[in-house]
Every structure is written in structure tokens, then in C-alpha cells.
Amino acid sequence: MLHGLTLGAMYALVAAGLALMLGVARLINFAHGEFFMLGAYVFWFGYSELGLPYPVAALLAPVMMVAFGIAYQRTVIRAILARSWHVQLIATLATSIVLTNLAIIVLGTQPKEVPTVLSSRILDVGGFRVAWQRLLVLAASLVIFWGLHRFVSRTRTGRAMRAMSQNREACAVVGVDVQWTAMVTFALSAALAAIAAALVSPLFNIFPDMGTTLTLKAFAAVVAGGFGYVNGAIAASFLIGLIEALAGSYVSYAYKDAIAFLIMIAVLLWRPQGLFGRRIGI
Amino acid sequence: MRRAVWLVLCIVIVAAPWLVAAAVPRQQRYVLHVLIFTALFAALALSYDLVVGHVGSLSLAHPAFFGVGAYAAAILATEARWSFLADVVAACLAAAVVAALVGVPLFRLAEHAFAVGTLGLALVASVVANNWVQVTRGPLCITGVPKPTLGPLAVTTLPAFYWLAVAALVAVGLLYQGLTTFRLGRAFHAVRDNEPLAAAAGIDPLKYRLVAFTIAAGLAGGVGALYVHYLSVMCPEEMTVALTVNLLVIVFLGGVGSLRGVLVGAVLFTALPEVLRLAPTWRLVIYGCLLLLVVIRSPGGIESLLPRASR
Amino acid sequence: MRLALTLAALLLMAVSAGAQAPPPIRIGFASAMSGPAAITGEGVRWGATLAVDEINAKGGVMGRKLEAFFADNKAQPGEAVSAVRKLLDVDQVDVIIGQTHSGACLGAMPVVKELGVPMVIEACSHPQIRALSGKGGNEWTFRVALDDEIMAYTFARYMARQGVKSTSILAMNNDFGHGAANAYDAAFKKANIKLLSTEFFDPGQPDYRPVLTRLKRANPEAILAIILASDGAPFMRQFRELGLTQRVFSRGSLGSAEFLYQVRDNPKIGDGVIEASYWITGLDPDWDKKWTERYKVPPRIHGSLAAITLKWAVVPALEIALKKHGKADRPTIRAALEEVDVKDSPLGPIKFDANHQAWINMILIEIRDGQLHILDKLPTSPALLN
């Protein structure tokens, strides 16, 4: 089902960023969904308020969120990076609450609509109808994942990220710039979430609470895929997206949101270390 | 000196309804209402602290147990006409049983997976409560839960319910103290502070974590039952993930792992918003900022900032 | 000495001047100010503030100014109880307008009776409220809005007259949605329309594709959407995307200026929707203009309902209370509400029957060419329920 794949792509982009941070920087970031939410609002601002063309506005979102991600890293993250993950979880959860409610105060509760040309034009193939935007989401995410893979395996920074996720102490000894690599990972993570937002917002709408459920589902995907293993998270995300769409269409629409977690719980019961085991590294 | 302080505190707490009536006669009903909520929240936070503070497992599933207990009590009281004490006991048992059942697979997981697993449980419980309309009536809520009756006594007035809530809090507090001192408490702390060492010393981490988890869940269920009898309605919104956030704020702000700290946190958390009278969204922003600051700067909470009075 | 006397005289004058201004009448408004339904509470706050300012600018009610107080019920019954207590004990209000959401209304009703404050309900649509209020029941609660039983019977009969033989319900997964779905379930049976399926969706979640697929499969002639404008926009977009052709009837705020604003890039997306309501922009153009000037968006339903309740139910009651009894305390306002008989409010006649229900007009709204049109204005009465 195409819709399930589109949903899965959205979850995957968000979960990949989460998994990267977990794998490389050992960081639990409960405020990740807010990167998505803020990215969506930046996109809306660029597209609706400033009237920028779609590709420009769509790229504005990750650019701004990279800047925001770096600022976030220098303030909050630096303070909690060395602390226990309990502290990390609660601190980032607190940040998520602050960001979401500030968004409500500043931007208001009324959802924003950002329809684009592609989201209004429908492709009709023998009765099967889908907005072009959905195809864009799928295509763009495949391109992005391919790019991510190349980055991690071919470039120096990418290899440094892999090294850090496997053995952090050895990296420092060998001369890998740990700080820089961590920052790049963070920026990448924020950018992925923002691009997902720019791709998906025209299909749905934008409101301050949109990040919270997404964070939870992304975590479900990351845990089910094997903590910190990016490809695992991506695979689990597509699985969740597909099953959610299918279950919503054929079983029960009301319980749809619980599906992601039921899948995760089922996976964990069967393999407590996640689908792909205790894979070291991203 | 300390005895005297304790005595005065006890007298103030017991005499609160009269003191409040004398101090703020026109607002006394509202103040008592806030105090009842404070007592119930404090009891809930203490039960949560057993798991988070003393056994060191960051469980995010507490709303599910609160909800199971609350719904059990509500359904038994309205459909089956059980007496108050009976449905409170049933609520505790129901929540404890659920905790034991899910705890076994959950505790086999690594720490991060455990946290997210408990979060998933809370979410699924919330969705079920909202959609299993045949049992929980979903968003239409279970209404008409009768006021509690203890034998011949009917707890219908606000001061009566206040004393009931305080009594419950005292009971939970005593249980909390008992569980966290003596050998059991030391075992809990051994598991929390150094699990491999504890295991090597013959303390089974899984068993002790499960014990704390189950008892905490049972207590949460009991508080849920009291809550439902006070409000006479139970809706799915009362057991969402947001409740976990409130509990985290109370426990971490006040002082995780400390009776006094959690109590202080509960009082601040429920009383402060009433004093400040801020718009709800700003209130959440401030909680978030406070939580962030506290958890970064002094993870021991306010308790760690107070001078170390020997207990 | 003379200085002291002058000061004393001035002080006395100031005090007596202050004492001469009669105290304001305090009106409490309770709604969902936070949480997922916060958009409704915001509307209520805006509407209430605008209405109170309007009344005070004209000198208040018989010389007494109004003062508005707000409380948050988070759309939950437990919080509604807290909101009532806060308004009563802390803000000392004389009358409450609220609670917007059915669960909150039902939760608050026993408390307003216990504490003795009149509550005029502006929007809760659960039929149980009518059964529980009035003589022999809860004498402190009054309702201006129509409930879903009244509207369902009328609307279902209208749909049957339009030739609809089968339908599916898509409803919000909250107290409003479930209450309405139950009412329409019964109403469709009476109108001989076959109900093929009932689906619930969580408000705020924007992905309707799975449920639209289900609806396509069930293939009813019509869909009854119990939905608000903010969810209605993504719903209608995806409805069109999937190419569904069912007739859409709705109950909520799909047929509203708020919805058209959300889809202003393609206003015809809502064409064909027929909404059963009791409020629409255009009933009071002067109000619409004032709202848009002040808040820069089209008037919102809950805010406008709160304002109308204040201006055409509560204010007349205050006038009756002040004229007949010279005071406006809680029991007097309660008794005065029973005597209110307004013929020409924007919603229609407001007169509370034995169940403290006002039988205002029902309005059928159609979206045509991207604009709202009033198809029909139907007066209501208890006879409709037979």
C-alpha cells in the first residue's frame, strides 16, 4: 500500500535522526519531534508568509533547523551529554514540553494549512488515486537515505561517526574530532526531521502538538530496530507505517495510533535486543 | 526540637479544615479541594518514586496502573455495586496483577528499551481506555460513582474527604518508609546503584525490581480508586501520558528517592499554580523550564538543596 | 489642623464616590483553555471578552458593569469541577457560562447544584443534559444550544427526504462525537436510513486515508461527518484526493467560515457539504465585523455562542433580577433565567422550558461555490422528538 510506504518514509526520516544520535552520541533526545514541528512551521513561514517557491521553502526548513540544532546542542545537550540517560530523557522531555507550549503561545492552536501544487494534483491510475506529493515523499526519502548511506560510508566525517558509535574512547585516542563529529550528527539529525516535515506538511496540516506522537513512534521504531542501528530504525519505520496503514484500513481505525507500540512490544517480546540484534554501530 | 516540629505539623494537617475555614472563609471549599488533590497526587508520586527513586528503573507506565485501578473501582462501584473498601482493594489488586504480568517481559529489556516499552504500555492503555467503549464508555466517561462509605460513615463532605485522603497518604507514606529501609530497602538500593555487584552478592535484580514495580502499581491503582470516588467520574483523559510528566516534575523537583523531597514536590506542584494563577500554557512552559534546570543543576531536587537535617 | 480636616474630607468624598459605583456583576466562563481542545477555549475567551467590552461600552447592565473571569476545564469532567470551584470560591462569580464540552458539562452539573450557582450552557450537545435539568432535576443548569437528539431526528428526516437510503458515520473520538453518534444511530433507525458503519477518529490527527479507504469499501450513499473545522480541512482534502463521491452531511463546524478560511487556497473543496447547525456567520453581521476587526480571523462558533448566551440569555436575566428584586445574586439570577423570554436573538427565540432547554432555530448550511448558503432555518420544539 502506497500510503503505508509514505507514512513509513516519514517515520523513517525522523527515526533515522533519532537513531543516529543514539548510536553516535549516546544521546536520548525526547525533543526530536519538536525538530519536526519547528521545521514544519519554518517551512510554513517560508512558503505561506514569505511566498517562497516550494523547493526553496522546503530547503529553508532543514537549514534553519540545523542552526537551531546546533544552538540546542550547545545549550541543553552539552549540559547533559555526560550524564546518565535518565537525566537525558527527562531533560529532553522537559525541553519538548517547553518548545511545544511556546509554539502554542506564539503560533496559536489553529492548524496551518500549506497545500502545494503537488499536494493538490492527483495522479489517477485506473481508479487508484494518489496526490503527487505522496510520490515525492517516497522518492525524496529514498534519495536521502541513499545519500545518507554514501555519507556515512564514504566521507571522513561519516566514517568518524561510525567509529564513534562503535568505540568512543578509541576515537579520541586515534585523533578523531569527537566534538565536531557529534555536532555534525546533531545537525544531520535535525535536518532529516525538518525535511520530513517540509515533505509531509502539504498532505496533512501543521499544529504545535504534531511532534509529540511522532517522537513516540520514532522511539518505537528505533527500539524495535535495535537501539542505535540506523538501518534497523529505517526498516522498522517502514514496517510500522505499512502495518499502521493496513490495520487502519482493514482492522480498526480508532486503534491505529496504538499499532506502532503494539508492534514494538511484540518485537521486543520476541527479540529483546531489537529486530537486528545488538548490532554495534550505526 | 524535631519532635515539636513534627507535632505541630501533625496538628496543622489534621486541623486544616478548621484553619482554612478561619483563614479564608469565602474560599475554603476551593482550598480544601486543592488540598485533597495535593494529598492524592503526593501518594501517587510516592508510589512512583518507589520505582524510579529506589530501584532505579525509569518506568513511564504509571498512568496505566492509575487508570486500571480507577476504572476497576469505577466499574465495580457503578455496575456491580461493590462497597467502597472492596472496590479499592480490587483496584489495587487489578493494577498489581497487570504490573506483574507486563513486568516480567519488560524487565528483561535493556534500560532504554524498558523505558520506551513502559511508554508504549501507557499509550496502549490510554488508547484502549478511550476506545473500548463497551467497558469504559470511552470518552463519554463512567459517571455516577458513589461517594465512599466506611461502614456506617458516609464520606460526603469536603473535610471528610480531606481526612480520608490524608489518611491514605499517611498509609502510603508509612509503607514507603517501610519498604525503603531495613533489608528490603538496602536490597532495592543495591540493585539501583550497582546491579552487577548486587547480582554477585546474591540479590536477584529482576525479582526486586518486579516487587517494587508491582507494589508501586498496586498503590497507584488504590489512589486511582480514591480519585474516582472523589470526582464521581472517570474519563480516559485522566490516564494519559501527561500524567507521567506531572509525576516526573513532582519527583525530580522535590527530590528523587526521598520521602520529604517527594512530599515537598507534590505540595509545590499542586499549590504553586493556584498561587501563581498563570495561563495554563505558560504554566507548562514554566514546569518544563524548572524541570530542565533542576535535572541539570541539581538532580537531587529541592531536597538536596535543603540543609542536611539528619532524619 | 485645617490640613487634616481637608484631607479627611477629601478622603471621605473619595470613599463615598467609590462606594457609589455599584460593584460589577461577575460572569464566569469555563471552557477548554489547554489541552487538545484548547482552540475552543481560546474562541470562548475571545468571544466573551469582546461581548463584555461591548456591553460595558454601552454602560453595562442597568448601570452595573460586567466583569469576566475564565477557568480551564481541559474538556474533562474532573477539571470542570475544579473550574467551577475556582470561579465560585476564588473569583466569586454570580453566574457561569460554559462548559463547551459535554463531558465537562456533565461533570460540572452536580457541583453547580451543590454549590448553588446558575450555569448557562452555551454549546454542550449531550441529550442527557436536557433530561437531567430543570424542574424535578437540576434546577441550576440551563442550556441555550440544541442537543444532538433534537438535531439528529430533524437532520435524519431531512436526509431521508433527500433520498438517502444508506449512510456511514465518521465521528470525533471524544464526548461530543460519541454522544452525537449515538443520537444519530437512533435517529437513522427512525428515518429508515441504513447505517452501514461508524468510525471514530482522534481529533488533531491528520491522516484520514485509512478511514477513507474503509468508507470507500463500505460504500454508503452518504457520510455523516461529526467533525470540527480544524479537522475538516485535511479530511475534505483527502476525501477529494481519494476521489470519493458520497454526499457529505456534517454536524460540528465543517460548514463554517473557519473551515473556508482553512481551505482558502481551494475553497471549492467543500462544495456540496450540508451542515446541521444552529449558528453561522451572518446571523449577526455587526458582531462578525467587530470580531474580524479585533481578532483578524473569521468568527469562531464557540466564542460567538458564548457571546450570544451572555447577551441574549444572561443579560436579560440580570435585567429581570435587578428590576424585580434590585439585586443580582446567584439564586435571584437563577430564578430570573426561568423568566427570560427573548424573541429575536441571532439564534432565534430563547425561552427555557421545564427542562431549562431553549428551543432555538436549527440551520441547514450548504457550501456552494466556496461559500456558505443557508438552505433552511427550522424552528424547533419538543414536538420534533416524536
Neighbours of C (≥3 Cβ pairs closer than 8 A)?
A, B
Per-window interface: B 274-293 vs C, CB < 8 A: 279-281, 284
By the 8 A CB rule, do B232 and B146 touch? yes
Q: Do C242 and A129 touch (CB under 8 A)?
A: yes
Query: Which of A80, A104, A272 is opposite residue B113, by nearest beta carbon?
Result: A272
- The C-alpha cell at C181 is 453518534
Give the Cα separation of C334 and C325 in Å (integer): 12
Give the Cα separation of C94 and C318 in Å (integer): 10
Per-window interface: B 228-257 vs C, CB < 8 A: 231-233, 235, 237-238
- The C-alpha cell at A14 is 525522523
C272 band by pLDDT with thresholds 50, 70 and 90: very high
Give the Cα separation of C200 and C183 in Å (integer): 15
Give the Cα separation of C50 and A166 in Å (integer): 62
Instruction: Give the residue among C185, C183, C204 at the shortest CA–CA distance from C195.
Output: C185
Instruction: Give the residue among C148, C180, C146, C154 at the shortest CA–CA distance from C349.
Output: C146
pLDDT at residue B284 is higher than 50: yes
By the 8 A CB rule, do A229 and A28 touch? no
Q: What mean pLDDT do residues C155-179 have? A: 92
Instruction: Give the residue among B104, B105, B119 at the shortest CA–CA distance from B58.
Output: B119
Please, which residues bridge with residue C277 across strands? C363
Q: Which helix (H) or strand (E) is A59 found in, with range?
A: helix A54-72
pLDDT of B311: 44
Instruction: Give the residue among A190, A225, A266, A173 at the shortest CA–CA distance from A8.
Output: A225
pLDDT of B310: 43
pLDDT at residue C30 is higher than 90: yes
Q: Which residues of chain A approach chain B closer than 8 Å at the C-beta?
A: 22, 28, 76, 79-80, 83, 85-87, 89-91, 93-98, 101-102, 104-105, 216, 219-220, 222-223, 227, 252, 254-255, 257-258, 261-262, 264-265, 268-269, 272-274
Q: Enumerate residue ranges in chain A where pLDDT < 50.
A: none
Q: Do B281 and A89 touch (CB under 8 A)?
A: no
C-alpha dihedral, C205 to C208 to C210 to C216, nearest 10°:
160
Report yes or no: C202 at the A interface, CB cutoff 8 Å. yes
Name residue, grid cell 479544615: B17
CA distance B142 to chain C (A): 10
Q: Do C262 and A111 touch (CB under 8 A)?
A: yes
Q: Do B127 and A258 touch (CB under 8 A)?
A: yes
Number of residues that make up chain A: 282
- Looking at residue B27, the DSSP 8-state letter turns out to be G
The pLDDT tens digits of the residues spanning B22-39 come to 988 888 888 898 899 999
Measured CA to CA in angstroms, residue B74 lies from A30, B40, B163, C101, C158 at distances of 34, 17, 21, 22, 40
More confident residue, B305 or B44: B44
pLDDT at residue C355 is higher than 70: yes
B213 band by pLDDT with thresholds 50, 70 and 90: very high
Give the Cα separation of B180 and B189 in Å (integer): 8
Which residues, 6 or more positions from C7, have their beta carbon under 8 angstroms from its beta carbon?
none
Q: Which helix (H) or strand (E) is A145 found in, with range?
A: helix A132-154
Q: Is C308 helix (H, G, I), strand (E, B) or coil?
A: helix
B64 band by pLDDT with thresholds 50, 70 and 90: very high
pLDDT of A156: 85
C169 band by pLDDT with thresholds 50, 70 and 90: very high
pLDDT at residue C14 is higher than 60: no
Per-window interface: B 84-123 vs A, CB < 8 A: 105, 108-113, 115-117, 119-121, 123
B161 band by pLDDT with thresholds 50, 70 and 90: very high
Please, which residues bridge with residue B150 across strands? B153
pLDDT of B308: 58
Best to test chain C binding among A253, A256, A259 (most C CBs inside 10 Å): A253
Query: Which of B26, B139, B281 is opposite residue C103, by nearest beta carbon?
Result: B139
Query: Which of C201, C230, C243 is opposite residue A110, by nearest beta carbon?
Result: C230
Per-window interface: C 55-84 vs B, CB < 8 A: 72, 74-78, 81-82
The pLDDT tens digits of the residues spanning B216-260 come to 999 999 999 999 999 888 888 888 888 888 898 889 888 888 898
Q: Do B140 and C72 touch (CB under 8 A)?
A: no
Q: Do C106 and B28 touch (CB under 8 A)?
A: no
Q: What mean pLDDT do residues C36-59 have? A: 92
By the 8 A CB rule, do B71 and B221 touch? no
By the 8 A CB rule, do C113 and C134 touch? no
Q: Which phi and psi (to 5°) does residue C281 adopt?
A: -65, 145
- Looking at residue C70, the DSSP 8-state letter turns out to be E
By the 8 A CB rule, do A205 and C206 touch? yes
- The C-alpha cell at A169 is 574512547
Report yes or no: C101 at the B interface, CB cutoff 8 Å. no
How many other CB atoms sit within 10 Å of the CB of residue B202? 7
Q: Do B117 and A227 touch (CB under 8 A)?
A: no
Query: Which of C33, C78, C178 is opposite residue B139, by nearest beta carbon?
Result: C178
Report yes or no: B134 at the A interface, CB cutoff 8 Å. no
Chain A partners of C242 at a C-beta cutoff of 8 Å?
Answer: 129
Q: What mean pLDDT do residues C205-233 have? A: 91
Give the Cα separation of A35 and B25 in Å (integer): 49
Q: Do B235 and C76 touch (CB under 8 A)?
A: yes
B309 band by pLDDT with thresholds 50, 70 and 90: low
